[in-house]
Structure 1
C-alpha cells in the first residue's frame, strides 16, 4: 500500500508539483460547483498555506500523490468565523488532497495519522476540519474518522456553507 511511497515535509521548491496535485485532487469538487481554494490556487498560495504548520507530502518517485497541512494554530480568519477554531489546544487540517489515481489506498488516512501523532506530541488536544456542507462524501469520511459536527460557517467568496467538525487527539 504505502511501501512504494516516500513521506517528506513540504519543500517550497516543490510548490508547482504540489499545486498540480491539489488541482487534481480538488478537481471533482470544482466540477460539482464547489470553489475550494485548493482547486485553483497558485503556487504562492500553496506555499503560504503550507507555512501555517507542518505539511507532509507523499511521493511516488518524482510525483506528489497526497498532501496535508496541519495548521498550528488555526488561521485567525477561521478563528473569527468559529469559536471551534479558537479553542485552546486546537489545530486544523488544511489542503488535504489525494491524487484521484491514488485514491482508495488509505493515503489520506495515513496522512491523518501522521498529523494526529504530530499534534499529540506538540500538546494539541483537538483537531478541526471544515468542508462544504454539500460534500457528503467528505462529511462521511470525517464522520468515520471520529470527527463530530459542531458548527456551520460561510467563508467569504465561497459558493457554499462549510460544516466545522472536531475530534479529540488520542
Structure 2
C-alpha cells in the first residue's frame, strides 16, 4: 500500500523489540478525537502497563511506515468475555484497533480490520464480537458497512459511556467470504 508517495506501510506482529510506550502513545493519538467529544475510550488514557496487559491477552499486530508506528490491532480467539457480555460462545474479538490520525482515510483501518477478521478465523472462531460507544455514530456506521450487527449493550467500568456490542459471522479460515 502506498500513501501519497510515502514508503509502503508494513503490517507485522508486535515483537519484544517494539516499544509498548510508543504503542501507548499511538493509542492516545488515535483515540484523542473521541475523548475531545466527551467519549472517554480506555485507549485514550490507558497507561503503558495497561497496554502491556492488553497485549498479553491477545495477538498484537502493528503497522509501520519506515520506523513510524502508524496503526495497530490486537486479536484473540476465543474471546474471554465477562459474564453477561453478549458475545456468543467461541467468538473472537479484537481491541486497540487504532490508526494514526494522519493516516485516516488511507485504507489502513480497513486493512487492519480485515487482518483481525482473518486472524480470528484462523484461530478457530466463526464470529467476531466487539463494542464501541453507543454515541460513536460514525464508528458504528463504519462497522455496520463492514457487516457488523448490533447484538446488545454493555457498560465497562473504565469508560464513561454505554457500549453497543456488535457481531459479525466469519467464514472458516481458508474459505472465501
- 1:95 and 2:96 are equivalent in the alignment: yes
Contact 2:93 2:120 in 1 (8 A): no
Q: Rg larger in 1 or in 2? A: 2
Task: Please name the residue that 1:109 is paired with.
Answer: 110
Q: 1:10 aligns with which of 14, 18, 25?
A: 14
Equivalences for residues 35-74 of structure 1 within 5 A: 35-74=40-79
Contact 1:52 1:72 in 2 (8 A): no
Equivalences for residues 118-133 of structure 1 within 5 A: 118-133=119-134
- Measure how far apart 1:128 and its partner are: 0.8
Deviation digits for residues 74-96 of structure 1 (CA, Å, limit 9, x no counterpart): 24xx4324132xx2221112011
Task: Please name the residue that 2:26 is paired with.
Answer: 21
Deviation digits for residues 45-93 of structure 1 (CA, Å, limit 9, x no counterpart): 1111112111110001111101111123324xx4324132xx2221112
- Computed over aligned residues only, the root mean square deviation of the Cα atoms, in angstroms, reads 1.5
| Length-normalised TM-score, structure 1 | 0.91
Contact 1:9 1:56 in 2 (8 A): yes
- Measure how far apart 1:119 and its partner are: 1.8
Task: Please name the residue that 2:174 is paired with.
Answer: none
Structure 2 unmatched ranges of 5 or more: 172-177
1 or 2, which has the higher helix percentage? 1
Whole-Å Cα distance in 2 between the matches of residues 107 and 127 of structure 1? 19
Structure 1 unmatched ranges of 5 or more: none
Moved over 6 A (4+): none
Whole-Å Cα distance in 2 between the matches of residues 92 and 156 of structure 1? 19
Contact 1:91 1:126 in 2 (8 A): yes
Whole-Å Cα distance in 1 between the matches of residues 102 and 140 of structure 2? 21
| Length-normalised TM-score, structure 2 | 0.88
**Count of equivalent residues:** 166
Contact 2:42 2:158 in 1 (8 A): no
